[in-house]
Amino acid sequence: MKATIIFLLLARVSWAGPFQQSGLFDFMLEDEASGIGPEDRNHALPDLEPLGPVCPFRCQCHLRVVQCSDLELGTNPLKSPGIENGAFQGMKKLSYIRIADTNITTIPQGLPASLTELHLDGNKISKIDAASLKGLNNLAKLGLSFNSISVVDNGSLANTPHLRELHLDNNKLIKVPGGLAEHKYIQVVYLHNNNIAAVGPNDFCPPGYNTKKASYSGVSLFSNPVQYWEIQPSTFRCVYVRSAIHLGNYK
């Protein structure tokens, strides 16, 4: 009889399942079955304050850059009337905007003065108006590649006094944009794959070049109809090193 009882106890132990560690969610389920009502749980678990700003759903947040659905506003069926004047004006700390591969034909108006980078590549912009860049005093990089730009208004670059990079490659420019020689900080200029047929001796550097203007670290003019052997060597007197100049035959 005693042996039978011991055997039954051992058999019961052997039938028991292996121990499994319960997670936090399991313990919460157990609380619901343990007789603790909703009122009791409200007292037991105090409300927690959020730790900080929450990144929007399906977005990636990096410091002051918020990329939503790729970010950004690129590859959307946007047209110029679809971006209202001052649409970004309330974002006083916004530093980066990219509206690429859309149907906009002009640079959006009323962009925030806090911008340091503006990328408008792959659109249908045909002209740079001086007014469209007005107030962008902090802009350091302007990307306008792969548009249809043929004209850059005089004074346009003066409205971006801290610009360091200008990408105007793969457009329809017939001459070097005015204002480069007078610009103090610009260092990189992409003008390849345009229709530029001539380059003047003062297009890039002021006549009396001095150290007040930053030296160029990159100038691209290849795939333009200009004959590179006809460009005077003094044209690039404010370029940091000769290897920074990229010339070549017309496509």
Mean pLDDT, residues 164-170 taken together: 98
Q: What's the angle, vertex CA 42, arms to CA 36 and CA 46, rounded to 5?
A: 130
pLDDT, tens only, 78-90 = 776 667 776 777 7
The yes-or-no verdict on residue 22 having pLDDT over 60 is: no
Torsions phi, psi for 96 (to 5 deg): -140, 130
Of 108, 107, 26, 120, the C-alpha closest to 74 is 120
According to DSSP, the residues that pair with 65 across neighbouring strands are 62
With a cut of 80, say whether residue 134 has pLDDT above it: yes
pLDDT(52) > 80 = no
What's the rounded mean pLDDT across residues 18-22? 42
Q: Among all chains, which residue has been given the structure tokens 């916004």?
A: 94
Q: What percent of the chain lies above the pLDDT cut of 90?
A: 46
pLDDT tens string 54-69: 776 557 787 777 765 4
Q: Would the pTM count as exceeding 0.95?
A: no
Location of structure tokens 């530029």: 196
Which range scores top for mean pLDDT: 64-73, 77-86, 236-245?
236-245
Rounded average pLDDT over 171-198: 96
